[in-house]
Amino acid sequence: MNTAITTVLAFLVTVGVLVVFHELGHYLAARLCNVKILKFSVGFGRVLWSRKRGPDQTEWALALIPLGGYVKMADEREGDVLPADVERAFNRQNVWRRIFIVMAGPAANFLLAIFFFWVLFVVGFPGDKPVLGPPAKGTPAALAGIVDGDTIVAIGEDSVQTWSEVNLRILQEAVNRNRVAVEIESPGGRRGTRTLDLTTTDAGDFDQTLLPKVGLRPYVPHTRAVLGPVSPNRPAARAGLQEGDLIVAVNETPVPTWVEFTAIVRANADKPLKLEVERRGTRFNVNATPEADGKGKSRIGLLGVAAGDELKREMERTRTRVSYDPLTAIPKAAYKVWDLSIFSLKMLGRMITGEVSWKNLSGPITIADYAGQSAQAGWITFLSFLAFVSVSLGVLNLLPIPLLDGGHLVYYFAEIVKGSPVSERTMEIGQRVGLALLLGLTFFAFYNDINRLFTG
């Protein structure tokens, strides 16, 4: 399927599933409290489709702008309410019922994320073992004594089995500027503890480059540059290269490993390369020009050839699959959601104080891009993406910003403390402040999205 179509469809599925469950939380809680529901909308703006259903003739609608949704309840502050429905109006409910209804939306997102993670833990998800390559000189990993071939077994008190777990844990510790104990296992099976000093990380470090900056990078097999299958009508095939050929040198520079060979190819898009090739004991030279793929910083060169079996066997040794039995997976999934929620709040706090760059804030364009990439990677990766975004949506809606669920909760807790509802004037001012804050966040998110499009 076309990449653009996949991205659009994956984004619509993401928004649709997460928004529907969020609003369904509000809807079900309101029904339990016997509040009359006038409308359940997925999306904003012009209505594309709607039907009225149920004893209250609730309008179920699909709107043009797929960036959210809402549940509209009978409320005397927002419009006329029929005399027969006055006691069922939202504003007539006691404060605890209102808190319950508002909390139900974010709670639905957290429960959905727990379910997604539970499915992933039961089915099992593939990953790469955190086997380390040589750390760059001067990095925290090098200073800690980590060497090529070490495997990370635990970070702090948490065991880790994959690189994705390592990435999240290191990110969490870096946000807190901690010195963290890392348990490693050497290639010979010996275990020891190394201390990573993450106290010097700065606001610009919290992105995909964090691990390399720390000095943690995946182990790279030292296998020769032996070619695997050669794709027809691609540069390698046009140059006469065949499966089993050994690349000895590029532009008269020796390339002892596959990784060094591919690094040169990727860095030389549309530039002719002189390849020294060995085939069944005979050496000869060919010229090949890697074709360009991608744009900007993502632009790389490709020859259209896969790695040989030697590298594949070596890489297979670093692959693993993480899974748990159904009962064990429940607390694992719940802890995962809790852990991600706390981490998200800490990241937001660090953004506000300037300790973490606002460049880490993503908008709908970036989310759509990630949705498309994860969907193309397979349903397990896409389900994991949905779980992460569902947690983020739950946390975002609990922020104490008027117009969000968290802002309403602030009003209700203030009502409990003072013994009476917050004044209409206070709520009006709060809504204006909340709107300004949300517009500001939206601006930053879109700016970051557009900046990523042009800079890669």
Helix %, strand %, coil % for the chain, to 5?
Answer: 50, 20, 30
DSSP symbol at 423: P
What pairing do the DSSP bridges indicate for beta strands 125-128 and 273-279?
unpaired
Say if residues 216 and 135 touch (Cβ distance below 8 Å): yes
The burial of 372, by beta-carbon neighbours within 10 Å (0-12 exposed, 13-18 middle, 19 or more buried), is given as: buried
Cα 293 from Cα 272, distance rounded (Å): 15
Nearest alpha-carbon partner for 67 in 44, 49, 89: 44
Of 23, 165, 316, 415, the catalytic one is: 23
Q: What is the helix (H) or strand (E) element at residue 202, kind and residue range? A: none
The burial of 75, by beta-carbon neighbours within 10 Å (0-12 exposed, 13-18 middle, 19 or more buried), is given as: middle
Beta strands in 74-178 (DSSP E): 125-128, 151-155, 158-159
**Where do we find the tokens 């050994």?**
246
Cα 407 from Cα 174, distance rounded (Å): 30
The pair of structure tokens assigned to 126 is 């593939």
- Other beta carbons less than 10 A from residue 109's beta carbon: 26
Say if residues 274 and 251 touch (Cβ distance below 8 Å): yes
Cα 400 from Cα 444, distance rounded (Å): 19
Cα 145 from Cα 166, distance rounded (Å): 18
Residues ≥6 apart with Cβ < 8 Å to 258:
221, 223, 224, 225, 226, 307, 308, 311
**Where do we find the tokens 């489709």?**
49
Q: Is 415 a catalytic residue?
A: no
Cα 330 from Cα 223, distance rounded (Å): 41
Beta strands in 88-230 (DSSP E): 125-128, 151-155, 158-159, 179-185, 191-197, 227-230
Cα 170 from Cα 253, distance rounded (Å): 37
Residues serving a catalytic function are 23
